[in-house]
Chains A and B, each alone.
Chain A
Amino acid sequence: MLSKNWWKILSAICLLYAFIAGFLGSVPAKPILHETIRNLYFHVAMWFCMMIYFIVSVVYSIKYLRNSNPKNDVYALEFANAGILFGVLGLTTGAVWAKYTWGAFWSNDPKQLGAAIALLIYFAYLVLRNSIADVDKRARIAAVYNVFAFFMLFPTIWIIPRLMESLHPGGMGNPALNSQDIDSRMRPIFLLGAVPGWALLGTWITTLRIRLKFLEEKKLSNA
């Protein structure tokens, strides 16, 4: 039991660390940001998780294209779902944060637009899947599309926003992670607490969905 579930406990410990140290720990005093700098542990962690899940998803899609095992298609779908969930959370938390630092929920900033386009491309993945009735065809086309969607992440969230003037920090490097934005008091809480904690929590939810999906399929094939 414990040998298989240790990472779920680790997720709880990391998240508790991020929640408690995230609010009680000291943070650098920055103009405009003030205490909202603590959003780093939550808002930025969402994007880290989104990227992790999309990477896992595309790996399973490529696996599916190599061996046509329907299990890989389920894994790819559910990890894409988790990525979309965390991406939407990242976008909405970013909008709230922007309201109180940049002055508006949405200011057509290159980073906001890029993230929105990237998510729309992934929404299309779900729509495309559901528009194909044949199971094998659906899995194959969805896997090919997922590879395309993954590579669209690079221009939309990694390259173009960094080339353009933006209100968002990190135009000249990694957003919110260079030494001008946070310091050594925040980095361990973010990298050892928030990111692994959220990433494992999302993985846990995803594995539950995958198991449920397999149960459904088993039930259908028995009926």
Chain B
Amino acid sequence: MHKKLSRILFTIFASLLTLPSWAQDSADKAQMAGVMRSNGKIYVVVAVLVIILLGLLFYLVRLDRKISKMEKN
């Protein structure tokens, strides 16, 4: 059982190692949002999204606690 598990984990790890070689394609140069990123404004978007995500997770934790309390009574 233990051997099997370590074998599976090793397979996953080994296949992760090959990830960088999967795709080295050279697509035509498409225009990316270079200016927006160099100005650093993308960090604002990331900050907003992380706040929303953390807010939602916090809300879920509260809800989870509330239901746990109800289950105890």
Chain B: CB-nearest residue to A28:
B27
Chain B: CB-nearest residue to A212:
B67
Cross-chain contact A30 with B42 (CB below 8 angstroms) = no
Chain B contact residues (Cβ within 8 angstroms of A): what range? Answer: 20 to 34
Write the B10-48 contact mask toward A (1 if CB under 8 angstroms, else 0): 000000100111111101111111000000001101100
Q: How far is the CA of A24 from the CA of B33 in the complex (A)?
A: 12
Interface size on A, residues (CB 8 A): 30
Cross-chain contact A187 with B46 (CB below 8 angstroms) = no
Binding site secondary structure of chain B: helix
Q: How far is the CA of A33 from the CA of B31 in the complex (A)?
A: 9
Cross-chain contact B23 with A208 (CB below 8 angstroms) = no
Collect the chain B residues with CB atoms within 8 Å of residue A120's CB: none
Collect the chain A residues with CB atoms within 8 Å of residue B30's CB: 29-34
Collect the chain A residues with CB atoms within 8 Å of residue B24's CB: 183
The verdict on A128 contacting chain B, using a C-beta distance below 8 Å, is: no
Given the known inter-chain contacts A28-B27, A31-B27, A34-B32, please indicate yes or no for A179 contacting B22, CB distance below 8 A: yes
Closest 3 CB pairs of A and B: A179-B23, A183-B23, A29-B30
Q: Which residues of A contact B (CB under 8 A)?
A: 8, 12, 15-16, 19-20, 23-24, 28-35, 179-180, 182-184, 187-188, 201, 204-205, 208, 211-212, 215
